[in-house]
Amino acid sequence: MCSGRVDLEFILRAFSNGQDGVFIGGCRLNECNYITHGNYDALSNTHLCRKIMEHIGLNPERLRLEFMSGADGNLLAEVTDDFIKQVKTLGPLGTSEGMDGKDVKFKLEAARKLVPYLKLVERERLRVPVKSEEAYTAFFESEPVNRLFSELFGDKLAVSQIMLLLKEKPLSTSDISEKLDLNPSDVSRHMNASSRQGFVRYDTASNCYMLA
Amino acid sequence: MEGEAGDFKVVLKKRPRYIIEEKCTGCTTCVEYCPVQYPDPFNQEISDNKAVHVFFSQAIPLVAYIDDSCLYLKENKCDICRGVCQAGAIDFKQTTEKKDVSVGAVILSAGIKPFDPKVKDEYGYGRMQNVVTSMDYERLLSSTGPYEGKVLRASNKKHPKKIAWIQCVGSRRVAEGENSYCSGVCCTYTQKQVILTKDHDPEVTCKIFHNDIRSFGKDFERYFQRAEQLPGVEFIRSYASITREDPETGNVAVRYATTDEGVKEEEFDMVVLSVGLNPPADYKVLAEKFGIELNSHGYSRANHSNPIETNQSGIFVSGAFQGPTDIPESVFTASGAGAQCGEFLDYRRWKLAKERVYPPERDVSKEEPRIGVFVCHCGANIGSVVNVPSAVEYALTLPNVVYAKEQLFSCATNSAKEITDLAKEKGLNRVVIGACSPRTLEPLFRDTLREAGLNQYYCDMANIREHCSWVHSKQKDEATEKAKDIIRMSVARTRHLEPLQEYDLPVNKAALVVGGGIAGMTSALSMASQGHEVHLVEKEKDLGGMVRRIHTTIEGMDVQAYLDDLIQQVYQNPLIHVSHDATIKNVSGYVGNFITTVDTEGRTKTIKHGASVIAIGADVYKPGEYLYGEDDKVFTHIELGELIAGGDEKVVNAESLVMIQCVGCRNEDRNYCSRVCCSHAVKNALKLKEKNPGMEIYILFRDMRTYGFREDYYREASEKDVKFIRYEPEDKPRVEALEESGKSILRVTVPDPILGQRLELDADILSLAAAVIPSASTAEIAGHFKVTLSPDDFFKEAHVKLKPVEFAADGVYLCGTAHYPKHIQETINQAYGAAGRVMTLLSKDTVIASGSVCEVVENDCVSCGACITACTYDAIEFIETEKGKKAWVNPILCKGDGVCNAKCPTNAIVLKHFTDEELCSQIDAAITDEDILCRIDCAMGSE
C-alpha cells in the first residue's frame, strides 16, 4: 500500500472521530517504492485536505505529511516528537479554533459528504503540472486556485451542511442562516437550487424547508 | 575437495558455535548475563562485546555464538548462559563438525579484506589513538556501532570537530606491503562518510586529501558534487602525510601541499585512513585447494572473455575475488556465476527440490470471526518494556477475540507450530500476531496459517516492537497502553479480512533479448545453453554493436576474434533466433507472458516470451568542440583505436599526439563520467608507444580514472614517458589549426597551474575522449517495456546497488552499456548476471502474483476513468459488460499500490487486503469510547 492510497475520507474520518492530529508518512519524493510516485498524490491530497480544514475553521497544522525512507528512523522520531508537541500546543480539536465538539463534528460530516465530489474536482481542475514539492506548494497556495477552491467547495459545503440540518428537522431560511452563520440571501440561493434539483421541498404552511 | 566438474566431493569443517542453531531465537538474554567482556570483532575492536553474542544485528542466522574468551571454554568456570537460556540452546559439548557435500560446481566468493595500515609505521595507525581506518569510521557512524552511532575520539570520547580523510591508503602505491592497483571504491565511500558525518553533526569541518577523484560509477559524479558542496567540506588534491600526535590533546598533525599556499601542517581531531581492498585473507589457501590460478595481486586470474570462469572447469568466481569491485558489480557477477553453474548443471535442475504440501484450505468465510491473538515477548525486546500479560488480558476483551496467548518468541519453530495447533484446536479463523514489523516475518506467520488450513490473508501483524517497545523503552506504562492500542486496531482490521487467492501464472519459457551486441549475445547464449529458446533482436543488419569498432582491450584481449567467435556461436545455436534490421513495434503482456511484435527485414514477427532482456548498448557523442569534424587530424578515441589497428601511417608515424579527456560529459549537459575513456586513452597511448616509442604523447585529463588493475597500465604509460597534464573544467584546453614551416599542425594550449601560463603543445594528431551517451532508441524502448530512465537517460535499474540487472517492472532485465558505460569485461559479467536473473524466472513453470490487488465493483463503477489515469502500470482498462462500459483490473499487472482507490469518486475500486472497510475500522479503533468520554468530561470540566 502506497501513501497515495490514503483517502481524504481516512483523514477527515480520523478528525471526525475526535483525533487532534493526523500524520501521514510517505516515501521520499522521487524515491518511489513502486514506479507510481503516489506520494505526490498524497501531497496533493494533503494540500487539499488542509484547505478543507481551513474552510471549516480547523487549524490545517493538525495535518502533517512527511517524506522519509526506511532508513530515516531518526527523522521519523524527530518529526513525530515535533508534531506531537505542536498538536499539544493546539490542544483538543476545536479548542484553539474556538469551535465546540458538536460543531466540529457537524462541519467534518458535511465535508466528508463532499469527498466524492472533491475527487472529481481534483482530477479535473486541481492537477499540478510539475512534479516537485515546491511546485505543489506554489500551485495550492496560488490565488487562482484559492479562488477556484472557494467557489467549488464553499457553496457545496454550505449545501451539505444545510442537508445535514434538515435531516434532523424542517427549518426556515432564517433558522438556517442563523445556525450556519450564513448570509440569508446565500441560503435562499442554495435552497432555490436544491428545490430545483429535487433535494428539498418548501412547506408553505410552516414556512420551512424539509428534505424531499 | 576432490573429484571433477559436475561431481565434486567437498569436505566442510564447521567450528563449534556452542549454540544449537535450531533452538536459539536470537533473544540475546545470554549476552546480557555473560560476565566476559572482550573487544568486539564486528565493531573493529573499538568497543567490547561479550563472550557469547550475536555477531551483528542483521546476522543470518540471527543466533548467538560463543567465543574462545568464554570462561567455561577456558577454565570450566562459568555457565551462567546455560542457566538463563529459556530456549535451552547452549551446548558446550559441540565439537568441530565435518560435513561432506556433493556438488556439481563451486563458486568462490570469498570477498575482500580491508588493507591493514599497520604494515606501514608512517600511517600512525595503532600508534596514534585518533587515527582510524575507514572501516573503523564506518562502524563509528553506524547506529549499531561501538558508540551507538556517535562518532567519538578514542582518546577522550569526545565528538571530533575537525576530521581529515587521507585517500589511497594501501592503494595506488608501489611500496612494499601496499597495492599498486586502485581499489575503486574508496573515493565514493569517503564521500558517503563525509555526507553522513555532516548529517550527524553539521558543525564538523571535513578535509579530504586525495589524488584523482574517481567517481566513475553510475550517479557517482552527482554524489561527489553533493559531498563537495556541503559547507565546511573541502576536497584538497594533495599527498598528505601524518607527522605527529599532540601528546596533550591527542590531535593528529597532517602535512600537505596546495598550489596556492605551498606545504603546510594542520592539526585534526581525527584522521580517517581511506584504506583500500586486499584480496581475501586466505586467498593462497583457497587457490591451492581449488587449483585455480591467481594474478600477481592475489585475485583470481581473469579470463578476459569470461571473468567469472577460472582455469578449473566447474569452479567460478564472483564478487571481489575477480578484483576490487563495488556492490552492483558484486551482485551481478554473483548472478552471473549462478548462470554459469546453471549452464553447467542444467540437466540436473530441480532434482533436489521438494514440493511443500499444505493441508486443504478450510472455507471460513461464512463463520463469525474467531480471532486468536498471540503477543510476543521477543525475549526481552518487547517483554522488558511492554507488559505482555496485561496486553494479552486486554486482547481477550476485544470483540471477536476468542483466544489470546503470550509467547516468548512467536517466530521460533515451536511457537509457530503452537500457533498452527491452537488455531486448529480453538477453531480460530483469523490470527493477530502482536510482535514485530511485517516486513521480516509476515511470510512466516502466513505460512503458519496455511499449515492450519486457513487462508494466509487471514493474518495481521500488530507491530509492537519497532513501533512501540523499541522507541519507548523508558516509558513502560505508556508503551503498554500503546501496545494495546496497536493490538486493538489490528483486531478491528482483522475482523474484516477476506480470504484472497494468489495467481499461479504460467511462464512462457522463451526469452527476448533486445540488442545484438556483446551484452545481448552473451546473455542469449547463456540462456540458450540452459535450454531456453531466445529471440535476439538487432536493429542493424549485423550482430556486434559498438564493439565492432574496438580492436583490443587494455589487457590485450583480441576483441574482434572474440566477437567473431561469439557471433558464430549465436548463429550456430539452434535455440537462438536472430532478427536483423529489426524494430520493435509493440510490447504487450506481463511477466511470464509477453507478446512482442517486431518488424524485421520486410516482415512482421510476433514473438511470445516470458522474459525480456534490454541490451541495446550506447552511442558515442559526436564532439562539436576542438575542431572535430572540421580538421582531418582530429579524431575520437574509438576512431584513433581503429586507425592504430589499421596501421594508419599518419597516426603511427606522428611526431606528437595530444589526447583531451572528458569531451561531452562531466559537464552541465551530461553530468556523469563515461567511465571507460581514461583506460581507452592509456590503451591507445601504450599501443602507439609500442609502435613508435619516440612519439610525444600528451594526455590532458581532469581526473585519471583508471580504476582497479587498470592503474598498472596508467603507471606503465607514465613510465614510458606519456605526459599527463591535468586541466580544470573552468579553463579547458584550446585548439587551433596552424601552418608552421610548411606543415599544418594543431596547437593545443592548456594552463599550467605551477607556471601560471598556458603550455603550448603542437600536435600532429588530436584525439578526443568522446562521451558514451545513451542510445538514441532508449526512450522508445523504455516506453515499450514500461521501464524508467535515470537522470542521465540511461535505463534505471530496480535498485542501483542491490538489483542492478532488474527493473521495477517484473520480467524485464537489463545489461551492458544501456545500463551505464562500462568496459567489455564488465559488460560480459553483467550479461551473465542478467541471464542468471532471467533463469530464476524462466526455470519455473509458474510465477505467483499477489492476492492483494485491486478489483472493481462493477455496480458502483461510473466509468469516469479516474482509476485508469491513476494507474502507472496500465493495469486498468474499460471492458464492455452487460451494464455498459466498466473499469476492469488485470490482477497480474496490478502491483497493489492502491493509488486508484483514493481517486475513485464512488469507491468502486477496492485494493484487496487494504479495503476502505479494513482501514476505516482501524482508524475508528484508534480512538476508544473511553477516550471520547474522557474528552467530553474534560470539555465539560472546562465549561
Query: How remote is the C-alpha of B907 from its chain's centroid?
Result: 39
Q: Does residue B936 surpass a pLDDT of 60? A: no
Q: Does residue A186 surpass a pLDDT of 90? A: no
Q: Is B859 helix (H, G, I), strand (E, B) or coil?
A: helix
Contact assignment for A92 to B935 by CB distance below 8 Å: yes
Show Cβ contacts of residue B462 under 8 Å, excluding neighbours closer than 6 positions.
Answer: B432, B433, B434, B435, B483, B486, B487, B489, B490
Q: Does residue B664 surpass a pLDDT of 60? A: yes
Q: Which of A16, A27, A34 to mutate to test the interface with B (most CBs of B within 10 A)?
A: A34
Nearest C-alpha neighbor of B204 from the set B144, B259, B164: B164
d(Cα B161, Cα A166) in Å, to the nearest integer?
68
Instruction: Tell me the pLDDT tens digit for each residue of B587-619.
Output: 998 899 999 999 999 999 999 999 999 999 999
Q: Are the C-beta atoms of A54 and A60 separated by less than 8 Å?
A: yes
Contact assignment for A101 to B901 by CB distance below 8 Å: no
pLDDT of residue B935: 62
Positive or negative torsion for Cα B759, B763, B767, B768: positive
pLDDT of residue A125: 81
Q: Are the C-beta atoms of B804 and B797 separated by less than 8 Å?
A: yes
Cβ-based burial of B351 (10 A; exposed 0-12, middle 13-18, buried ≥19): exposed
Q: Which residue of A has its CA nearest to B871?
A: A36
Q: Name the residue with cell 594550449.
A: B749
Contact assignment for A4 to B902 by CB distance below 8 Å: yes
DSSP bridge pairs for B697 = B657
Instruction: Tell me the pLDDT tens digit for each residue of B346-384.
Output: 999 999 889 889 999 999 989 999 999 999 998 778 998
Q: Are the C-beta atoms of B806 and B498 separated by less than 8 Å?
A: no
Q: Is B118 helix (H, G, I), strand (E, B) or coil?
A: helix
Contact assignment for A19 to B873 by CB distance below 8 Å: no
d(Cα A188, Cα A190) in Å, to the nearest integer?
5
Ramachandran class of A25: left when φ > 0, alpha when ψ lies in -120 to 50, beta otherwise? beta
Cβ-based burial of B366 (10 A; exposed 0-12, middle 13-18, buried ≥19): exposed
Q: Which of B903, B916, B940 to mutate to test the interface with A (most CBs of A within 10 A)?
A: B903
Q: Which residue of B has its CA nearest to A116?
A: B905
Instruction: Tell me the pLDDT tens digit for each residue of B501-551.
Output: 998 889 999 999 999 999 999 999 999 999 999 999 999 999 999 999 999
Q: Is B485 helix (H, G, I), strand (E, B) or coil?
A: helix
Chain B residues within 8 A of A117 when measuring between CB atoms? 905
Q: Does residue B191 surpass a pLDDT of 90? A: yes
Q: Is B926 helix (H, G, I), strand (E, B) or coil?
A: coil
Q: Is B392 helix (H, G, I), strand (E, B) or coil?
A: helix
Nearest C-alpha neighbor of B822 from the set B527, B547, B557: B547
Go through chain B and tell me how many residues it has. 943
Per-position DSSP letters for chain A, written without gaps between them:
--GGG--HHHHHHHHHTT-S-EEEEEPPTT--SSSS-THHHHHHHHHHHHHHHHHTT--GGGEEEEE--TT-HHHHHHHHHHHHHHHHHH-STTTTTT--HHHHHHHHHHHHTTHHHHHHHHHHH---SS-SHHHHHHHHHSHHHHHHHIIIIIHHHHHHHHHHHHHHS-B-HHHHHHHHT--HHHHHHHHHHHHHTTSEEEETTTTEEEE-
**Phi and psi (nearest 5°) for B895?**
-105, 0
> 3-class secondary structure for B533-599?
CEEEECCCCCCEHHHHHCCECCCCCEHHHHHHHHHHHHHHCCCEEEECCEEEEEEEEECCEEEEEEE
The cell numbers describing B200, all together, are 550527524
Instruction: Tell me the pLDDT tens digit for each residue of B195-230.
Output: 999 988 999 999 999 999 999 999 999 999 999 999
d(Cα B319, Cα B306) in Å, to the nearest integer?
14
Q: Are the C-beta atoms of B904 and A119 separated by less than 8 Å?
A: yes
Q: What angle do CA B929, B931, B932 make, to 5 degrees?
A: 65
Contact assignment for A116 to B906 by CB distance below 8 Å: yes
| Closest Cα in chain B, distance from residue A91 (Å) | 11
Nearest C-alpha neighbor of A194 from the set A149, A163, A168: A163
The cell numbers describing B804, all together, are 542492478
pLDDT of residue B753: 74
d(Cα B672, Cα B728) in Å, to the nearest integer?
16
pLDDT of residue A71: 65
What is the Cβ-side half-sphere exposure of residue B757, based on CA atoms within 13 angstroms? Answer: 4
**Phi and psi (nearest 5°) for B897?**
-80, -30
- Which chain A residues in 104-163 lie under 8 Å from chain B, judged by CB atoms? 116-117, 119-120, 122-123
The beta-carbon contacts of B598-607 under 8 Å, at least 24 apart in sequence, are B598/B537, B600/B537, B605/B579, B607/B510, B607/B512, B607/B535
The cell numbers describing A169, all together, are 428537522
d(Cα B91, Cα B54) in Å, to the nearest integer?
16
Instruction: Tell me the pLDDT tens digit for each residue of B243-302.
Output: 999 999 999 999 999 888 899 999 999 999 999 999 988 899 999 999 999 999 999 998
pLDDT of residue B942: 46
Count of beta carbons in the 10 Å neighbourhood of residue B352 = 6
Average pLDDT over residues A109-118: 91
Show Cβ contacts of residue B262 under 8 Å, excluding neighbours closer than 6 positions.
Answer: none
| Closest Cα in chain A, distance from residue B870 (Å) | 8
Q: Name the residue with cell 571433477.
A: B4
Query: Is residue B687 very low, low, confident or very high in pLDDT (cuts 50, 70, 90)?
Result: very high
Kindly report which listed range (A49-53, A192-196, B70-74) carries the lowest average pLDDT score.
A192-196
pLDDT of residue B255: 97
Q: Does residue B719 surpass a pLDDT of 90? A: yes
pLDDT of residue B940: 54
Q: Which residue of B has its CA nearest to A95?
A: B939
Nearest C-alpha neighbor of B192 from the set B211, B212, B208: B208
Does B916 touch chain A if contact means CB atoms closer than 8 Å? Answer: yes
Q: Which residue of B has its CA nearest to A100?
A: B939
Report strand pairing: B593-600 vs B743-752. Answer: unpaired
Chain B residues within 8 A of A17 when measuring between CB atoms? 923-924, 926-927
Instruction: Tell me the pLDDT of chain B averaged across its residues.
Output: 94
pLDDT of residue B58: 67
Does A75 touch chain B if contact means CB atoms closer than 8 Å? Answer: no
- Which chain B residues in 791-850 lie under 8 Å from chain A, judged by CB atoms? 808-809
Q: pTM higher than 0.95, yes or no?
A: no
Contact assignment for B924 to A17 by CB distance below 8 Å: yes
The cell numbers describing B889, all together, are 483490473
The secondary structure of residue B285, as a DSSP letter, is H
- Which chain B residues in 456-495 lie under 8 Å from chain A, judged by CB atoms? 471
Go through chain A and tell me how many residues it has. 212
Q: Is B636 helix (H, G, I), strand (E, B) or coil?
A: strand
Q: Does residue B628 surpass a pLDDT of 80? A: yes
Contact assignment for B932 to A18 by CB distance below 8 Å: yes
Chain A residues within 8 A of B788 when measuring between CB atoms? 35
- Which chain A residues in 34-63 lie under 8 Å from chain B, judged by CB atoms? 34-38, 41, 45
CA B727 → CA B259, B605, B732, distances in Å? 14, 52, 6
Does A8 touch chain B if contact means CB atoms closer than 8 Å? Answer: yes
Q: Does residue B466 surpass a pLDDT of 50? A: yes
Does B906 touch chain A if contact means CB atoms closer than 8 Å? Answer: yes
Q: Name the residue with cell 516528537.
A: A81
Query: Is residue B144 very low, low, confident or very high in pLDDT (cuts 50, 70, 90)?
Result: confident
Chain A residues within 8 A of B472 when measuring between CB atoms? none
Q: Does residue B941 surpass a pLDDT of 70? A: no
Q: Are the C-beta atoms of B930 and B887 separated by less than 8 Å?
A: no
Q: Which residue of A has its CA nearest to B787?
A: A35
Average pLDDT over residues B314-322: 95
Q: Which residue of A has its CA nearest to B868?
A: A123
Q: What angle do CA B31, B34, B37 make, to 5 degrees?
A: 95
Instruction: Tell me the pLDDT of chain A averaged across its residues.
Output: 89
Q: Could you give the dihedral angle defined by the CA atoms of residues B32, B37, B42 and B47, in that order, rounded to the nearest 10 degrees?
A: 100
- Which chain B residues in 847-886 lie under 8 Å from chain A, judged by CB atoms? 864, 866, 869-873
Average pLDDT over residues B60-83: 91
Q: Does residue A31 surpass a pLDDT of 50? A: yes
d(Cα B625, Cα B933) in Å, to the nearest integer?
77
Extents of the domains making up chain A? 3-168
Average pLDDT over residues B389-401: 97
pLDDT of residue B939: 52
- pLDDT, greater one: B306 or A70: B306
Contact assignment for B902 to A8 by CB distance below 8 Å: yes
Q: What angle do CA B324, B327, B331 make, to 5 degrees?
A: 105
Q: Which of B899, B901, B914, B928 to mutate to test the interface with A (most CBs of A within 10 A)?
A: B899
d(Cα B55, Cα B407) in Å, to the nearest integer?
25
The cell numbers describing B823, all together, are 568496459
